[in-house]
């Protein structure tokens, strides 16, 4: 299951059950990204969404379901149950990037495309970091093997390096302005979120804004 399919399957299920066209909000997208990064299997998320709507239709309340955030608690609860059921056995057939059959050519193209985007970025505040990341990607590409798990870890290490560079942006006023905007977007949801979930969602939303500005690609094999 690749990155694109994970997001689109969740979006299509939510929109179908909602019964009318409704674009997911930046908060919803950040939450999906958090689920994907934590390795919550797609079938768990979809089952939780279906369950929330089934229960709502049996006992409709005065308010409608307008956001995927409404399904968050059920996703977390079903994931916790699933983790308990998986103790001592393989993860129920779910693929991870390390287990998927990526061709060498596809991986090489993914890495080269990422190098090209990093070097074409005009985002000056972290220009040196972008070049360092591109150089590390070149080294990885030159030494590829068939160990997809190791390749994916290396890609995520480089992505983590770039995330740190973005969050340490020397343009402090601009960074503060983006943080303020994200805080405002999350304000209506903060009271209903656990501290850890709020902080993770905040970080993901902020990083998405920064990556979009700098045109920095996602590097892991999930994004191939």
Rounded to whole angstroms, the Cα distance separating 53 from 102 reads 36
Report which of residues 223 and 81 the model is more confident about. Answer: 81
Q: What percent of the chain has pLDDT over 90?
A: 32
* CA 97 centroid distance within chain: 14
Q: What percent of the chain has pLDDT over 70?
A: 88
pLDDT tops 70 at residue 98? no
Where does the pLDDT of residue 112 fall: very low under 50, low under 70, confident under 90, or very high at 90 and above?
very high
Backbone angles phi, psi at 56, to 5 degrees: -65, -40
Backbone angles phi, psi at 173, to 5 degrees: -60, -40
Task: Tell me the average pLDDT of the chain.
Answer: 83
Of the listed ranges 85-94, 112-121, 167-176, the least confidently predicted one is 85-94
Q: Which residues contact 5 (CB under 8 A, 6 or more apart)?
A: 42
Which three-class secondary structure state does DSSP give residue 180? helix
Determine the pLDDT at residue 61: 66
Kindly state the average pLDDT of the residues 142-164: 89
pLDDT tops 60 at residue 135? yes
Task: Give 69's DSSP letter.
Answer: G
pLDDT digits (tens, 9 = 90+) for 83-97: 777 655 544 444 444
Largest CA distance in the chain: 59
Rounded to whole angstroms, the Cα distance separating 154 from 150 reads 6
Determine the pLDDT at residue 164: 93
Domain ranges of the chain: 3-85, 100-224
Structure tokens at 89: 């056995």
Q: Which residues contact 218 (CB under 8 A, 6 or more apart)?
A: 3, 159, 211
Determine the pLDDT at residue 17: 85
């Amino acid at each position: 299951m690749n990155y694109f399919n994970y997001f689109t399957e969740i979006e299509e299920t939510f929109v179908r059950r909602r019964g009318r066209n409704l674009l997911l909000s930046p908060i919803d997208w950040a939450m999906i990204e958090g689920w994907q990064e934590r390795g919550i299997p797609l079938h768990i998320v979809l089952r939780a969404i279906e369950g929330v709507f089934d229960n709502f239709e049996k006992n409709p309340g005065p308010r409608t379901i307008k956001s995927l955030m409404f399904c968050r608690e059920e996703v977390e609860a079903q994931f916790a149950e699933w983790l308990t059921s998986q103790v001592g056995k393989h993860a129920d057939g779910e693929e991870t990037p390390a287990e998927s059959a990526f061709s060498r050519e596809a991986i090489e193209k993914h890495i080269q495309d990422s190098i090209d985007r990093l070097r074409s970025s005009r985002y000056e505040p972290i220009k040196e970091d972008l070049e360092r990341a591109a150089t590390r990607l070149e080294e990885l590409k030159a030494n590829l093997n068939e160990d997809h798990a190791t390749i994916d870890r290396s890609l995520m290490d480089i992505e983590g390096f770039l995330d740190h560079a973005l969050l340490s942006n020397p343009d402090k006023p601009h960074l503060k302005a983006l943080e303020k905007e994200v805080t405002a977007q999350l304000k209506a949801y903060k009271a209903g979120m656990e501290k850890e979930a709020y902080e993770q969602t905040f970080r993901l939303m902020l990083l998405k804004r920064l990556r979009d500005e700098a045109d920095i690609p996602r590097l892991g094999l999930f994004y191939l």
